[in-house]
Amino acid sequence: MRALAELYAALDETTRTSEKVAALARYFAAAPPADAAWALYFLSGRKPRQVIGSRRLSEWAIDAAGVPAWLFGECYDAVGDLAETVALLLADTPSAVAAGEPASLSFWIEERLLPLREADEATQRAAVLQAWSELDQPRRFLWNKLITGGFRVGVSQRLVVRALAQVSGVEDTVIAHRLMGDWAPSADWYRGLFVSQRADADVSRPYPFFLAHSLEDDPASLGTLEEWQAEWKWDGIRAQLIRRAGQSFLWSRGEELITERFPELAEAAARLPDGTVLDGEVLPFRDGVVLPFGQLQRRIGRKQLTRKILAEVPVALFAYDLLEVEGRDLRGAPLRERRARLEQILDSGDDAIRISPLVSGSTWDELAAARERSREVNAEGLMLKRRASPYRVGRVRGDWWKWKVAPYTVDAVLIYARRGSGKRASLYTDYTFGVWAGDTLVPFARAYSGLTDAEIREVDAFVRRNTVEQFGPVRTVRPELVFELAFEGLQPSTRHKAGIAVRFPRILRWRRDKPPREADTLEIVRAMLREG
Amino acid sequence: MTETLLHLTPRGLYCPPGDFFIDPWQPVSRAVITHAHSDHARPGMRAYLTTHEGQAVLRGRLGPDAAIQTLAYGEPLGLNGVELSLYPAGHMLGAAQVRVAYRGEVWVVSGDYKTETDPTCAPFEPVRCHTFVTEATFGLPIYRWRPQAEVLAAIHTWWRANQDAGRASLLFGYALGKAQRLLAGLDPAIGPIFCHGAVERFNGIYRAAGIALPPTAYTGAATREVDWSRALIIAPPSAQASAWMRRFGEVSTAFASGWMRIRGARRRRGVDRGFVLSDHADWPGLLGAIAATGAERVWVTHGYSAVLARWLTEQGLDARPITTPFEGEQGAATGEEE
């Protein structure tokens, strides 16, 4: 357990990715497989059902430390974390400090912790107090974390996978796949991670993604239009769908296996011919229309996919490339050939796996005009791809370009605030912004997202201190804070005071540098409307 | 309420029969100074009284024109029938507790103190009294210090690891007191030690007072050839994230403070490492010091004063928090008070 406590400290002490990976690799290189399995279990965000409730733990710590409950409360307020409060509050006993080679992590979990689940309270209490007296502070902290389950230390699955690949020499895509799903941590399971000839190794492996650069120049500089193919630039999740050996795998660009997140795609993939790999975009798609990305976010954020959310935000894979056909790597073939084969395969018009349509135009100007309509289909612009190009690896200049439409931005002043809902119920997070019309601020957009938690707290405090007037749930605040808002479109509106309705307004950043008087005017916004 | 020997006025803690203030925060004619930190030693007093050992640092704070009188530790001074004397507080060079005796009644004002040993100053000495005025910067039972040697060993390990990784070691700590205590414990054989100007200024004063510190160099005087990746640099917390830091290239940052005991405090501070080293007493230190005075009445000035006062009250003492502008909890965010 000491090794894991040291790993925890090492991960906590650095923000450098390379050092986190190195610390993880050091740990896994030295840890016995049974311990490593448990460490992986916790590091990948899994946790056993909480063995002992937080209230009991607090009560026992109060007894063990010999402090009154109010003083424990003061300590907790200063620390903000139960496991840490208890670890800090108890003094190290001489036996803990002097303890030599400690028992293994798996012993602590399997022999000391998990059996407590079935035990009565007195036994649990005695066992926990005994453990506290045996452990020094860093291990006491870890032990408490194992009990309460909140083992968060700021390493992503990717880093853990990278460290394991480094230690074992097994490819990270293989390890990533083997870490997916439900598994019980054991020494055998851990050893199995690195077995080279497991059948699933090759079957799941995605190809590296080909990524595009942004087009800064005039598209005419790319040459004749005939050499290029134009598609919508979607705002979704870039993904590779693999159908091999009767199994389906959906990989995100971050090389995360996301098959389970999108059951409708997994189901549709089963109808693909064996040995097929598609590249495309997972998009929220309902009634023949691509929905805004925000809808997809609602689904991504969830642990449990309820029937309700599946019905509200169905998804489709908009495929735009074919990387493998009949088990053969097709990446070297020119795009025009890959596209033709893709059209054949997706001929059936399956709803969940669709072909991403081409955008046509006979001149660059016509394409530019089409690009201006991107927002109408919830696209971010166009992709330009050279018809003769192979499917390359990584971000390579020259063959794929993203030609995005710019978001509109306006500097506006916070004028009204109301409380948010759910997690943010206690905070003022729902803001209305105004732009200047002469000497008055006209409400112009309402936005929620885009601020960090720290900024939200700061704005919340500002709102509470600077309320001029309260009308129901809405507070009018002193017009002092300026924010840069981005939005995707403008429409004339008779229902809005400013005479304009904005689409998808969001806060880009807090303009602390700008005094409110320098925020934008209604005239400027109206000019955008005419241009748009 | 009958008037006590010392009482709180808008200008500071005042002794009417002796007609002096202890660490006043507004200009007065006679100020007894426990130690030279800026929240305790303010400019503008007509006359200052401190220890022999504390004179030079206080002078460094206040400038050449301040009228500073000094006493040896334990040397009594009579003021209108009041006997005043100063005893080591262990906080920093020259830091004192103020003992005030009048008609058989004894008060002791601790100033800031720690009970751990510190090579740069005289160790804390418990003084028997009827009323003890204590600080409570770290007045919560979660604050328990590890032995200083252990912390210094961890700093050395960090320094060596940074050398191996090819980056400079930038250690933040309060420029007066903490910085010199760190220096006194550092092993100069590991590599060169540099100091920010604010720190280097006080190093000179400490050395002149006979405190042994390893050789240090002022960062501003360093040539372009300096290999910063070998070096440990000590700087005040205010230098963090400043342009001043850029010259060192790649750095690992650390902060030496009692606040670093809590994980969240270190994360909010935005440093790579937190070393738990304080010039204030930890919880057992506070309780031990208070018990050793034998005082029946305790006033708690700054830090977790309400918490400590409540605890002491529950232990049967006559304890209460008093409000002073000495910096306590505020330091949780800034860490500047140490």
Which CATH number does the domain housing residue A469 bear? 2.40.50.140
- The verdict on B189 touching A (C-beta cutoff 8 Å) is no
Q: Looking at CA atoms only, how far is residue B31 from chain A in angstroms?
A: 35
Distances (CA, A) of A238 to A232, A251, A320, A332: 13, 9, 11, 21
- The verdict on A441 touching B (C-beta cutoff 8 Å) is no
Same domain for A398 and A253, yes or no, is yes
The reply to whether A399 falls in a domain is: yes
- Mean pLDDT across A211-221: 85
pLDDT single digits (tens) B213-272: 999 999 988 888 889 999 999 999 888 877 888 889 899 999 999 999 998 788 777 788
Contact B304 A74 (CB under 8 A): yes
Same domain for A241 and A316, yes or no, is yes
- The verdict on A81 touching B (C-beta cutoff 8 Å) is yes
Q: Looking at CA atoms only, how far is residue A481 from chain B in angstroms?
A: 24
Same domain for A356 and A503, yes or no, is no
Edge-to-edge strand list for the sheet holding B251-256? B217-218, B193-195, B232-235, B168-172, B251-256, B273-275
Last residue within a domain, chosen from A385, A404, A423: A404
The reply to whether A492 falls in a domain is: yes
Same domain for A117 and A237, yes or no, is no
pLDDT single digits (tens) A310-337: 999 999 999 999 999 999 889 899 999 9
Tokens read off for A203: 């079957």
Q: What is the spatial distance between Cα A342 and Cα A320, in angstroms, rounded to a whole number?
A: 8
Same domain for A399 and A416, yes or no, is no
Contact A75 B141 (CB under 8 A): yes
pLDDT value, residue B1: 46
Q: Looking at CA atoms only, how far is residue A77 from chain B in angstroms?
A: 11
pLDDT value, residue A182: 61
Task: For residue A180, name the pLDDT band (cuts at 50, 70, 90).
Answer: low
Same domain for A504 and A412, yes or no, is yes
User: What CATH class is the domain B148-275?
Assistant: alpha beta
Same domain for A43 and A122, yes or no, is yes
Q: What is the spatial distance between Cα A277 and Cα A272, in angstroms, rounded to a whole number?
A: 9
Same domain for A81 and A62, yes or no, is yes
Same domain for A239 and A140, yes or no, is no
pLDDT single digits (tens) A284-296: 999 889 988 778 8
CA B294 from chain centre, in angstroms, equals 24
pLDDT value, residue B331: 38
| Whole-number percent of chain A with pLDDT over 90 | 45
Q: Is the pLDDT of residue A350 over 70?
A: no
* Average pLDDT taken over every residue of chain A: 86
Q: Looking at CA atoms only, how far is residue A99 from chain B in angstroms?
A: 17
Same domain for A363 and A226, yes or no, is yes
The reply to whether A425 falls in a domain is: yes
The reply to whether A61 falls in a domain is: yes
What residues of B are in contact with residue A84 (Cβ under 8 Å)?
262-263
| Pair B275, B169: CB distance under 8 Å | no
Contact B141 A67 (CB under 8 A): yes
The reply to whether A283 falls in a domain is: yes
pLDDT value, residue B275: 96
Last residue within a domain, chosen from A360, A375, A404: A404
pLDDT value, residue B328: 46
Q: What is the spatial distance between Cα B272 and Cα A437, in angstroms, rounded to a whole number?
A: 49
Domains of chain B by residue range: 7-143+279-334, 148-275
Last residue within a domain, chosen from A404, A420, A435: A404
Sort strands B30-32 and B20-22 into parallel, antiparallel or unpaired. parallel
Task: For residue A157, name the pLDDT band (cuts at 50, 70, 90).
Answer: confident
Tokens read off for A451: 């601020």
Reduce the secondary structure of B91-107 to three states and give it as a string: CCCCCEEEEEEECCEEE
Contact B264 A79 (CB under 8 A): yes
Which chain B residue has the Cα nearest residue A68? B311
The domain total for chain A is 3
Q: What is the spatial distance between Cα B142 and Cα B157, in angstroms, rounded to a whole number?
A: 25
Q: Supply the DSSP symbol for B16.
A: T
What domain range is A294 assigned to?
210-404
Q: What is the spatial distance between Cα B57 and Cα B33, in angstroms, rounded to a whole number?
A: 12
Contact B273 A81 (CB under 8 A): no
Distances (CA, A) of B35 to A38, A325, B258, B285: 52, 80, 19, 19
The reply to whether A167 falls in a domain is: no
Q: What is the spatial distance between Cα B309 and Cα B132, in angstroms, rounded to a whole number?
A: 12
CATH number, domain containing residue A52: 1.10.3260.10
CATH number, domain containing residue A371: 3.30.470.30
Contact A88 B144 (CB under 8 A): yes
Tens-binned pLDDT, residue by residue, of chain B (338 aa): 457 999 999 999 999 999 999 999 999 999 999 999 988 999 999 999 999 999 999 999 999 999 999 999 999 999 999 999 999 999 999 999 999 999 999 999 999 999 999 999 999 999 999 999 999 999 999 999 999 999 999 999 999 999 999 999 999 999 999 999 999 999 999 999 999 999 999 999 999 999 999 999 999 888 888 899 999 999 998 888 778 888 898 999 999 999 999 987 887 777 889 999 999 999 999 999 999 999 999 999 988 999 999 999 999 999 999 988 776 433 333 333 44
B69-85 exposure pattern, b = at least 16 Cβ within 10 A, e = fewer: ebbebeeeeebeebebb
pLDDT value, residue A102: 66
The reply to whether A455 falls in a domain is: yes
Q: Which residue has the higher pLDDT, A98 or B12?
A: B12
Of the segments A374-388, A445-459, B203-217, which one has the largest average pLDDT value?
A: B203-217
* Number of inter-chain CB pairs under 8 A, A vs B: 41
CATH topology of domain B7-143+279-334: Metallo-beta-lactamase; Chain A (3.60.15)
pLDDT value, residue A404: 84
Same domain for A215 and A138, yes or no, is no
The reply to whether A471 falls in a domain is: yes
Same domain for A399 and A459, yes or no, is no
